[in-house]
Amino acid sequence: MRRSGVLLHPTSLPGPHGSGDLGVQAHFFIDWLVSARQQLWQMLPLGPVGAGNSPYMADSAFAGNPLLIDLQELQQQGWLSADDLVTQPDFSSSRVDYPRVKPWRMARLELASQRFFTVLPQRPDLAQEFSRFREQHAAWLADYALFKAIEEQHPKLCWNEWPAALASRDASALAAARRESAARIDHWCFVQWCFERQWQTLRERARGSGITLMGDVPIFVALHSADVWANPHLFQLDASGQPTAVAGVPPDYFSATGQLWGNPLYLWQAHAETGYAWWIARLRRALSQVDELRIDHFRGFAGYWRVPSDALDARSGEWVKGPGLALFQALKGALGNLPLIAEDLGVITPDVIALRDELGLPGMSVLQFAWDGDPMNPHLPHNHRRTSVIYTGTHDNDTTRGWWQDADSSLRQRVCDYFGNDGESGAALIRAALASVAETTLLPMQDVLGLAAGHRMNTPGREQGCWEWRFDWSTVGPEPAQRLAESCERYGRLPISNGGESYGSEA
């Protein structure tokens, strides 16, 4: 079935409280996707933002981002007042000002938590629902909430810098911490319960509207995370909890010195000895929230770039064999067929292609990467595979208009020669993505809106100023949805319920 959708992280949505969230604007965006006759909403990882405000550096692979919680819904529940939500007048509608937004939002969650626990004794229905949530998610929530409670007592310290008994998870020290921090543990469980309630409501809205939700699973986790603290034996750490090597990629399209991500690396043999239990739990959790998953940095499962922990950049790394097929066999055995998309970008070697094809996973093609002059470039439209997922650009790329504005004359000439025109390349790339033989096309919202430079979501290797982009409906108007719907009709990508046909699909 031919289909298309839009890439937009919920933080980029409009809203009065400094960042997009799971509230009315997220529900309206689903309606907008329906009006544009789309079938997919892809977003970035849903976990708490970490270093540089990146959703790929969460302090938990299982928790939801507290900044996505809809505060107005908490007001409707009676846990916040109207006065609590008088927004600071200088919150930006075009970017998330994290240094101002995060403390303001987190303070409101504190107020809501206090009032919730005040009324809880008189609300047995709420008490039962909250208790059930804690029991259902205890496998990750107990460690996460304790991690957050201890973190509050040792601000700005990584867990491996905490008092030794807590860092090493001494049983008596953890028991004492649970007793002493019981109220804070309750608070962090409340925050996650709010996220989960609101997320599942949004998911039901999407399902009822015929919109498939596509999530994103980062391959790595942050060193300062509940996952590494609770499972140090699963990572390449020394006796003090410091990484012996870290993650990154060699020199690539984005950086001549490679990208030094700094995440701890997995000790894959230890994962294998558990039957990959942590990964199974991780994907089970992710698939309880979305319908399909983009699995980030897929090539790292075939072979990953191991960089010495004291390296200044990623050039001194080396390729090391990953878990390969064994991991995915374990996942499939536990979870059934996996609705995954392999993010197979970067330095791709034959073993990566072999693993992807052995698993029967769709890969990705990005039209902005297609113009190096090689007619066999896999990102060129005539080389697209039916099973690929086509993008004009991803969250790591500039907007297509911005990319075109910065392109040199030789690249522009190759693009114009290919399409046989000298017009606006942004529109040409969108048409090529939708016209592609590939069954699935995903367009960044910035490209749907035709936005130029200055609206980029992320610049790889840049530590500040990323993940902040937002839009406002007042600048949109009806034209983008109408254009997108007409293009999907032209290229056979309409939802079947909206009059489209499933060309080439099996009966």
CA 111: distance to chain centroid? 28
Catalytic-labelled residue, pool 170, 351, 396, 489:
396
The arrangement of strands across the sheet holding 245-249 comes to 259-264, 245-249, 303-308, 318-321
User: Are residues 213 and 291 in contact, defined by beta-carbon separation less than 8 angstroms?
Assistant: yes
Q: Which long-range contacts (CB under 8 A, 24 or more apart) does 341-346 make?
A: 341/214, 341/292, 341/293, 341/294, 341/295, 341/389, 342/295, 342/298, 343/294, 343/295, 343/296, 343/297, 343/298, 344/298, 344/299, 345/369, 345/394, 346/249, 346/252, 346/253, 346/297, 346/299
User: Are residues 201 and 169 in contact, defined by beta-carbon separation less than 8 angstroms?
Assistant: no
> In terms of DSSP bridges, do strands 303-308 and 245-249 run parallel, antiparallel, or are they unpaired?
antiparallel
Provide the token pair at 191: 């925050």
CA distance 484 to 477: 13
With CA atoms as reference, report the closest residue to 264 among 52, 462, 54, 57. 57
With CA atoms as reference, report the closest residue to 66 among 187, 167, 182. 187
- Phi and psi at 142, nearest 5°, equal -60, -45
| Structure letter (DSSP) for residue 268 | H
- State the angle between helix axes of 124-136 and 182-208 in degrees (0 to 180), rounded to the nearest 10: 90
- Phi and psi at 112, nearest 5°, equal -65, -40
CA distance 30 to 39: 10
The arrangement of strands across the sheet holding 340-342 comes to 340-342, 292-295, 212-217, 40-42, 3-7, 440-444, 389-391, 364-366
CA distance to 44, 46, 253, per residue, from 286 (Å): 12, 9, 29
Q: Is 276 exposed, middle or buried (0-12, 13-18, 19+ CB in 10 A)?
A: buried
Catalytic-labelled residue, pool 252, 291, 296, 489:
296
User: Are residues 106 and 184 in contact, defined by beta-carbon separation less than 8 angstroms?
Assistant: no
Is-catalytic flag, 216?
Answer: no
User: Are residues 27 and 19 in contact, defined by beta-carbon separation less than 8 angstroms?
Assistant: no
| Structure letter (DSSP) for residue 216 | E
Is-catalytic flag, 313?
Answer: no
CA distance 30 to 213: 10
Q: Which residues touch 98 (CB under 8 Å, ≥6 apart)?
A: 49, 53, 468
Is-catalytic flag, 296?
Answer: yes
Catalytic-labelled residue, pool 73, 151, 292, 343:
343
Provide the terminal-to-terminal Cα distance of the chain, rounded to the nearest Å.
11
| Amino acid at site 231 | N
Catalytic residues: 296, 343, 396
